[in-house]
Every structure is written in structure tokens, then in C-alpha cells.
Amino acid sequence: MDEPKYPTATSSGNSSSSKKKWILGTLIVLILAGIGGGIAAWQIIKRNNESSSSSSVSSTSKNGGSTSGVSGNPANFKKDSNLKQSFYAMAYSPSGSILPTCGANLADVQRDIQLLSQLTTRIRTYGSDCNASTLVMQAIEDTKVDMTVWLGIYIDSDDTIWERQRDDTLAIIQKYGTDHISGVTVGNEFLLNTEGAASSYTSIRQKVAEFKSELAKLNLDKTIPVGTADAGSMITASLASNVDYVMANVHPWFGGVPVDEAAGWTWNWQEENVVSKAGNTPAYIAETGWPTQSMTRANATLGGAVAGISQLQTFLDTYVCQANANQSAYFYFEPFDEPWKEVYGGVEPYWGLFDKDRNLKQITIPDCPPGNY
């Protein structure tokens, strides 16, 4: 495959995983200076909240057709010519799926899956509370779209949460089968939230092993891989050797990277800080994206990074097709704005390609299918 070309990057023939690698002139300085403070600070503030969203939204969108589809059939919905199935995968939380204020409903999730299916064939979720995982699987079945899911099991220090979501996920697999399930992700930033305590690494390994054992008892028609997702700085060779895959959040915004350098920065951060540790274990980018605004003007910039619609467009134009050509396995963060995150301030509510009402922002989606890899 020819090496993709993109602005400000130079080629290199010495990569830890392939000869196709993005290099930026200022990359090394940015990694050393930006990643330790920017990403870690952001991910700590997110802690226990990636499992879902608590705000409800309208059940129709001018960009995706009606929730129920044509003639009331959710599988027969109007396609939006502005949307392209160009993303390798996307990170998704149904609106209204965080305890204790559950509000997720099937109609809204059907609408979201209709839209998501026009952008990707793969999604990952964060947890099963508020019936979120069940709604996602039911919506995929109802809409009959080409979609697979990495189901998330959210965990923290309270093992009753693990037990509840473990049992939920096993029941979902038994009910819906394996056709639309690509993996199960145990934990999201659990290691970061516990500051990398040795006991937390032990807990992840034990829970992954336990879930794999429970899956084996089901005598499924295929093997479902079980992995974990965390901050890239938390991934170790030992952890990777005890799971089927690792996912790491890689956000150039929180590294303070100018958007025209963000694509190459993202590639190199993943290659040098995650892939190199993972060895033969598959390594995914769990989240990467760009915010379009901030709640306060002071927080609309971080180092050289600036939040905005035009900046999002630049990131899309310089990352998506190049990542696809380089066969980078990434989950774009995220399809929809999440207003419940206003409690965290800054750019947190504004990472979507769509606004909270599922209207596509003033952007152009790149047209470059990622293929199967």
C-alpha cells in the first residue's frame, strides 16, 4: 500500500508496527510536554462518567429520518447523503443511561443506530446500566443494519457494579447471540481512576479471566475477545499479555496540539506508547476526536489546540482517511454532543459530529471507507 500523504507530516521507514507512520516536526516535544499533563488531567476529571449520558433528546432529526423509519419500520429509514460510512468505529453512549436518572428508550437508540450505521459498521459502549446495552442490541436487531459492538462493562471499587454489569452482559449475549458482538471491554479508565495501583491491575486481570470463563460455559458459536480500555499511560506489557485486546484514549486536544499537527501526533502517540507495549495483543484507539466549542472562552484553547467547527473539519480531513489507509483501528469520539457533561465545564459537552438534537454540525464527512482490518 502506498504511504498516505497528509499536511505537515514526513514519512519514516522505521515504525514499531509498520512502515506506514506519521511523523510531525514538533511531535517529540509535544508528546513529552503535553501528554503527561493534558491527557491525565482530563481523564481524571472524567473518572466514573463515561458509562453514559443522562439528557434526553428529541425523537426525530432533520439529518437522519424519523426514529420509527418509513411506514413505522425502523429498518426502512431515510438515508442522509451528507453521511459517509468512513469511520473505522465510533464510541457511543445512549442518552439517558447513567444512574440514578435513567431515561434511555428504544426509540431514541433506534434513531441513533440509524445515524451511526451511516458513519461506521462498528461501535463501542461503556456500560450496561439503565438498560443501555440491551437497547443498543435491540436497536441493531430492529434496524437490521450492518453493525457490531464492543460491549462495555463499567467497573469501579464497588464490586456490586461489576457483578451487575457482568450478569447483564452475559444475559445479553445469550439473548442476542454473537453475530453483532465483536468484543467485551471490562473497565474504562479504571486504572487511571485508581492511580495505577497494583491491586487495580490485579483486579482487571481477574475480572477479564472470570468473564472469559463465564463465556466458555455458554458454548457460544465463536470466541468473543475480552479486553480493557484505559489511559495510554496505564497500558503495560504485563496487562496486555493478560487480555485479548487493549484500548487507549488518544486525544490531541488534551496534549495541547495544534489541529494541523493532530493527525500525526495521534498516530505516533498510539504507536510509541501503546502498540509498542501491547506486543502481539491487538491495540485500539478507544477515543480520539476534536471539540467544537467550550462553555467558557478561557477554556476554548489548550496550548496550541483551539476548539471550533473549522478545527474539527481540519481534524476530520487530516486524520480519518489517512488512519483508514494506515489500517489504524480507532473509535471516533464521538457522534453526538452530550449536554450532561456541562457539570465538568470546558469543552466536555461538545465533542459530537452532531449537536445534542442529532443535527449534523456544519462539517463535511470524509468519503473513504476503512475496509476490513
Catalytic residues: 189, 287
Beta bridge partners of 186: 153
Preceding omega of 214 cis (within 30 degrees of 0): no
Cα 144 to Cα 9: distance, rounded to the nearest angstrom: 40
Element (H, E) at 159: helix 159-176
Three-state secondary structure call for residue 348: coil
- Euclidean distance between CA atoms 61 and 335, whole angstroms: 14
How far is residue 275's CA from residue 282's CA, in Å, rounded to a whole number? Answer: 8
Count of positions (residues) in the chain: 373
253 burial level (CB within 10 Å; 0-12, 13-18, 19+): buried
Exposed, middle or buried, 52 (CB in 10 Å: 0-12/13-18/19+)?
buried
Considering only CA atoms, which of 316, 323, 325 is closest in space to residue 353? Answer: 316
Residue 359 DSSP symbol: P
Local structure of residue 48 (DSSP, 8 states): G
